[in-house]
Amino acid sequence: MAKGGGESVNKRGIVAVAFAVSLIGKGNLQTYAMEAPGDGEPGWYYGQEKHRWYYVDGSQNLHTGWLDYNGEWYWFNQEGWMADGGTTTIDGIPYYFFINGNLAWNQYVGMKFYNKDGRHEQEHDVRVVGKQNPDNEDKDMFSDYMYQIPRSWITRFIEDGWQIMFYKQKKYFEAPRTDQGIYYVYHSVDTYYKKMKFTDVDSVLQAFGEYVGYAAGCYEKGNAWMDALWEEQPALSPVLNLPDRYVDDGKFYFGKLFAAYVDDSGKEEVLRVSPRAGEVMEEILHLHDDEETKKRLERKAQERQEAARQAAERAGEGGGPGIRREEKESDV
């Protein structure tokens, strides 16, 4: 994605450099790893006085302009403040930034679509069917759900010519009797006309998951991914809460699994009962990622595994940090 280059404060004179150093030196900038942009890595600071995020490079330069960091785009104004939580106009063009500072690109926000350059493309917006328009809650929930889907799959969705349609006034698409009583289905995926339809925003992830399964070839006879998932279904059924009517429906099953897996809490449950299903989903989710993204994700996975290994070692030694130190002190 082409963007104007960012700059560091040393290009704007010694006064700006002094400002950046003074911020750091006086402790006005605090690092917050839990909610920090840039995955909480070094260089990101939060200015409590202005309630703004900054990025300082290894040479202690306060960054301004565009920043490409770990595959995400950020923008900082001339004072080094990071744009976040809404629309910011840059060089006459409006861009949307999430609360963590990530630029919206190849993503849906509030039922609007932003392309690879972060610009709004109206022709790919969600089409609202009927006279009743989505309310703010619909838009916010839709944004939250779609944010969990890998960009590479949203890109594939758009390139394949698909469209999302919201039937706000419609109650449901199906309501069969099942072992769980009347089961209301709030989505429909039309592979012929390439339409992903929903009546309730809560069904969006399952609907998109059914598209992903279709595009990945999972519903074709003899598909290795789907064969593996069928073998894991007995373990997954309690987690997915599959009604008997849809137990043998591959599209419905995969859609439910997709919706659960892209959600952090659901992912933990899936991995707990079926690590193999997690492996399959990872392969499918990142099928269209570029090599740089794949390497970055592999690195993050290795870091998580190493952290888990170290935690397990500490637990095996009799407790968390400080246990050994306390034992030594007691021996003195």
Distance of CA 187 to the CA centre of its chain: 22
Cα-based distances in Å from 209 to 200, 205, 252, 268: 15, 6, 9, 18
Mean pLDDT of the chain: 84
Please give the pLDDT value at position 288: 84
Which domains, ranges and CATH numbers included, belong to the chain? Answer: 7-93 (2.10.270.10), 104-292 (3.40.390.10)
Instruction: Report whether 183 contacts 245 (CB < 8 A).
Output: yes
| Tens-digit pLDDT profile for residues 268-326 | 999 999 999 999 999 999 988 776 666 665 665 565 556 656 766 776 665 444 333 33
pLDDT at 237 over 80: yes
3-state SS class at 57: coil
User: How does residue 24 score in pLDDT terms, banded at 50, 70 and 90?
Assistant: very low
Say yes or no to pLDDT of 114 above 70. yes
pLDDT value of position 159:
97
Please report, as a single letter, which amino acid is at residue 270.
Answer: V
Structure tokens at 98: 């999430």
Q: Which tokens hold the place of 254?
A: 């995969």
Q: Is the pLDDT of residue 47 over 70?
A: yes
Are the C-beta atoms of residues 194 and 161 closer than 8 Å to each other? yes
Quick one: tokens of 165? 């349609």
pLDDT > 70? residue 21: no
Tens of pLDDT along 150-207? 999 999 999 999 999 999 999 999 999 999 999 999 999 999 999 999 999 999 999 9
Q: Specify whether the CB–CB gap between 73 and 66 falls below 8 A.
A: yes
